[in-house]
Amino acid sequence: MNRLRKRQFRFSAFYLLAALSALYIFQVLIATPQTRKVSYTDFIAEVRAGHLAEVNITSTELIGLLKEDAAKQKQARVISATRLPGIDESPLVKELEAQAVKLTGTIQVRPWWTEFLISWLLPLALLFAFYGYGMWRVGQGPGAALTFGKNRAKIYDESSKINVTFADVAGVDEAKAELVEIVDFLKNPQKYQKLGGRIPKGLLLVGPPGTGKTLLAKAVAGEASVPFFSISGSEFVELFVGMGAARMRDLFEQAKQKAPCIVFIDEIDAIGKARSSGRGMFFGHDEREQTLNQLLVEMDGFDSSKGVIIIAATNTPEVLDPALLRAGRFDRQVIVDRPDLKGREDILRVHAAKIKLAVGVDLHTIAARTPGMVGADLANIINEAALLAARRGADTVEQRELEEAIDRVMLGLEKNSRRMSPEEKQRVAYHEAGHTLVALSVEHADPVHRVSIIPRSIGALGHTLQLPTQERYLLTKPELEDRIAVMLGGRGAEDIVYDGVVSTGAADDLQRSSELARQMVTQYGMSAQLGNLTYGVPSNQRFLATPFADHSRNYSERTAEQIDEEVRRLVDRLYMRVKEILAKRQADLERIVQELVRKETLDRAELQRLVEAPIAATQEASLP
């Protein structure tokens, strides 16, 4: 029946449209007489010739009806001409009266209903149209006003089971050990409840970007086989104040209905920043603060014994509101730090299991070459290596693809199209040879793995790659000084070889060495003149300062001068040491440069054959 009605409606609408079209065509082409536009002069000429039977004068034009004999000659029944402004047409009227031409006039006034439509109904219709469109866009569909306060969390339950487990997460063993207790509570809550204990209401995953915080939260849900709510903190912040708080209430209501479950809020700092840091005349944010207040109230109002556990992640825990971190809300902070050497190797094995590796690939060496990298970086290296092998048509990924993938991620693509002149190539060779020779000469430098003068896409004209042999968590003053010396080796080699005529190639080296020297003086207390004090506000406390204050200065101008003098004295002393090393080993420097210009890339074995003196015993013993 409904289908028949739809067909009848379509049939009626089609014939109504056809009838209106036919009426319009009849009115325009048939009922309306043909009109020929003429000039004012031609119209006067037609009047004086006596060809007009009737004239209609409007406010803007003259319309004349031709006599039958004249219409046959002109092939038009009606002519019209635009009235000239400021012209007195009384003589024209008298002449028309003398010729007994019928005169009519039309005053063009809009009907009352046209004025009503244009003045009232049309603006109201446009207003309601914009309002309806805005409601549709905000609510993403009909009934938009009812969806403002609905949470937008992605819900994973039995119908969409999470296949991520702790076996898919590597390199964060300490964090996994803390989360095992959460999984055990979700599986066996009675074991804890019978002893009167309660599980923490909230866990805060803290760590640098890419360390696997979101993956860990999914692994907890996958291990426990419970519903998993996933939402970002920024999805609570809306244009209208109160919408974020309403979504927070709705999120917790749904979570209580699906308990036991996990609610995961990623990037919680988007709504959880310290309220004192944003207050002021121009820097307040009522929507974010109301959302944070609602989160605090909801975390106080639910019982963790019901099985609702809040897991949040952030890269900047220092900016979070203290009320959010107190006991009873986020009781426990789980540090998800950068992986160590063993952790990086485990992560590489997890990602390498998805590709075809050649026999003999050494992931331990790859892990040793990637200090400081997180899980996302290592996954990118494995993927880049697979792409390189596919581009070369290989069946498996070999060690050279992995090595090249590291270089591509850290240094950029090789710029084979960039051709340096022989003079520039030789200067770059001296620069990189200076870094290499100083690194081979000082005691505490990391062993040199490779030196190259092939330009890279990141702007480097060459690079000296050092390979750490172990994870370092503390650095002594001599070790830091040796690092600065290696950074200054390139500038020192140019200074000696070219008699003080230096280039811009050492800009990055000078910046990094200056920053490290300033940290030694101001942060590490390694200056005898300035003593065991720190100078400057730590970066994790600067957000508490007012926007117009100097964030980094907490010392006098006299102390600032002493800091500058001490940094300059430290760098100058190490630079003189570098020049002494290079002056004593200038023969080794020349051999390295000649071979670099010829081959463009040298590895450690080739460097060891080129230098006369053996490499430092400490470096030799620490080789992998």
The residues annotated with a catalytic role in the active site are: 432
* Cβ atoms of 262 and 227 closer than 8 Å: yes
* Tokens found for residue 437: 């020779």
Amino acid of residue 522:
T
Q: For the purposes of burial, counting CB atoms within 10 Å of the CB of 256, is it exposed (0-12), middle (13-18) or buried (19 or more)? A: middle
- 369/449 Cα distance (integer angstroms): 9
Reading the block at residue 264, the tokens are 């995961």
Backbone φ, ψ for residue 334 (5° rounding): -105, 120
Q: How many residues does the chain have?
A: 624
For residue 3, what is the DSSP state? Answer: H
H or E stretch at 334: strand 330-335
- Kindly write down the DSSP assignment for every residue of 131-146, as one continuous string: HHHHHHHHHTSSSGGG
- Can you tell me which residue has the tokens 């505490």? 444
Q: Which residues contact 280 (CB under 8 A, 6 or more apart)?
A: 546
3-state secondary structure of 64: strand
| 267 CB neighbour count, 10 Å cutoff | 19
Q: Strands 330-335 and 261-266: what pairing?
A: unpaired
> Cα(72)–Cα(126) distance, rounded to whole angstroms?
50
Q: How far apart are CA 219 and CA 171, in angstroms?
A: 14
Category of 231 on φ-ψ map: left (φ > 0), alpha (ψ -120 to 50) or beta: beta
Closest listed residue to residue 341, CA positions, set 367, 377, 374: 367
**Greatest distance between any 2 Cα atoms in the chain:** 128
d(CA 61, CA 40) in angstroms, rounded, equals 9
CB 154 within 8 A of CB 230: yes
Please report which residue ranges of 118-268 form alpha helices under DSSP H. 122-139, 173-187, 189-193, 213-224, 243-257
388 and 403 Cβ atoms separated by less than 8 Å: no
